[in-house]
């Protein structure tokens, strides 16, 4: 029977993997779980996963070259999320180890989080609640409606598309910046980034993180936004120059912002930004709902079952290099 190590910390297993996925995994594999309520170091992971054929990796689990050097039995690393930046894919390929990733199950959850923080930013709900909880009676101030406001979506993948439909249902105008031409529609306009920044009342950063987008929201970008506009980042911390964002908030160049990601460990918002009075910050929970988490966990288990049965799952990222799968009866046309 296939031996699997699941690296999720014990106190995160229920929330980030779940009973259904664990039960499904046990039907075809011998399963070991991380016994500690913390992330394992690379050396600890080697010791814990020794003798295992497969590793199901938690969001912060490291998979450096040393892991593949030390685990000759390891055939596949399955990332229980989309982000595989903690995995040295080149090293995995050099050792013939397959790497897979889960598809997005969080589009609706993150899009709803963005709608929620837009409502909060526009109406000051958190400020009122904080004042009442602090024992004071807050003075009412004039809020803003989403209806009639312009939402700028930077990046138009699955989350962006879900957000677009929600925003239109609220009566918002929607403008989008994305590299590929969009299919023409009457209720959405595609604009270059400078034009979007100049027009939008809310700017939602949903671009992919890569070399071209790193630091795209810098001092110039924030200066191009309207001073009563709001900035929202639900993508990746690397897309934002955090010092430039803090300076823009302090200078009154922005009305406020909402952050679910940042450059702190595990993509958490940085403390200095999170505690700013014009910032709504949450600890990377935009996609933390039962359907979103269960989707990725069950997909990860289904990927491993497909491999055990001789099929290559769609989430494989280096299938042509995964020569260790020959142990499981796969025929691999390795890249030369």
Predicted pLDDT at 333: 61
Alpha-carbon gap, residue 277 to 283, rounded angstroms = 17
How many Å is the Cα radius of gyration of the chain?
22
Residue 331: predicted pLDDT: 82
Domains for the chain: give ranges and CATH numbers.
Answer: 2-105+290-328 (3.40.50.720), 107-281 (3.40.50.720)
According to the model, what pLDDT value does residue 202 have?
98
Active site (annotated) includes residue 133: no
Catalytic position from the list 59, 95, 284, 321: 284
pLDDT of residue 335: 42
Residue 327 CA from chain centroid, whole number: 33
What pLDDT, in 10s, does the model give residues 39-50? 998 889 999 999
Provide the whole-model pTM.
Answer: 0.88
| pLDDT beneath 70: ranges in the chain | 333-336
pLDDT tens per residue, range 210-260: 889 999 999 999 999 999 999 999 999 999 999 999 999 999 999 999 999
Q: What does the pLDDT read at residue 222?
A: 98
Give the active site residue among 144, 236, 295, 324. Answer: 236
**β-pair partners for 79:** 57, 101
pLDDT for 17 equals 94
Phi and psi angles of residue 209, each rounded to the nearest 5 degrees, phi first = -90, 115
CA torsion sign for 225, 230, 236, 241 is positive
Strand order in the sheet with 173-177: 188-190, 173-177, 150-154, 202-205, 230-233, 256-259, 279-281
- Residue 284 is among the residues annotated as catalytic for this protein: yes
């Amino acid at each position: 029977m296939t031996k699997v190590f699941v690296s999720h910390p014990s106190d995160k297993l229920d929330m980030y993997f779940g009973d259904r996925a664990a039960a499904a995994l046990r039907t075809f594999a011998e399963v070991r779980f991380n016994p500690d309520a913390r992330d394992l170091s690379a050396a600890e992971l080697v010791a814990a996963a020794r003798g295992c054929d497969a590793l199901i990796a938690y969001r912060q689990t490291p998979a450096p070259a040393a892991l593949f050097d030390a685990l000759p039995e390891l055939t596949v690393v399955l990332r229980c999320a989309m982000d595989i930046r903690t995995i040295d894919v080149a090293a995995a390929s050099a050792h013939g180890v397959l790497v897979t990733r889960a598809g997005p199950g969080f589009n609706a959850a993150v899009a709803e989080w963005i709608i929620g923080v837009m409502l909060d930013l526009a109406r000051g709900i958190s400020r009122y609640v904080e004042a009442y909880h602090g024992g004071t009676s807050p003075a009412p101030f004039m809020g803003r409606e989403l209806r009639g406001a312009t939402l700028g979506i930077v990046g138009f993948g699955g989350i962006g598309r879900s957000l677009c439909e929600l925003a239109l249902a609220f009566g918002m105008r929607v403008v989008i910046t994305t590299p590929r031409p969009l299919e023409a529609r009457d209720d959405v306009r595609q604009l270059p980034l400078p034009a979007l920044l100049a027009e939008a009342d809310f700017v939602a950063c949903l671009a992919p993180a890569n070399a071209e987008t790193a630091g795209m929201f810098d001092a110039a970008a924030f200066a191009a936004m309207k001073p009563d506009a709001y900035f929202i980042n639900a993508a990746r911390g690397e897309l934002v120059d955090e010092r430039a964002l803090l300076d823009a908030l302090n200078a009154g160049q922005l009305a406020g912002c909402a952050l679910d990601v940042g450059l702190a460990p595990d993509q958490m918002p940085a403390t200095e930004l999170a505690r700013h009075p014009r910032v709504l910050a949450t600890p990377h929970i935009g996609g933390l709902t039962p359907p979103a988490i269960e989707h990725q966990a069950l997909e990860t288990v289904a990927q491993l079952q497909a491999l055990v049965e001789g099929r290559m799952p769609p989430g494989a990222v280096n299938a042509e290099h995964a020569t260790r799968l020959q142990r499981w009866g796969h025929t691999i046309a390795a890249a030369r």
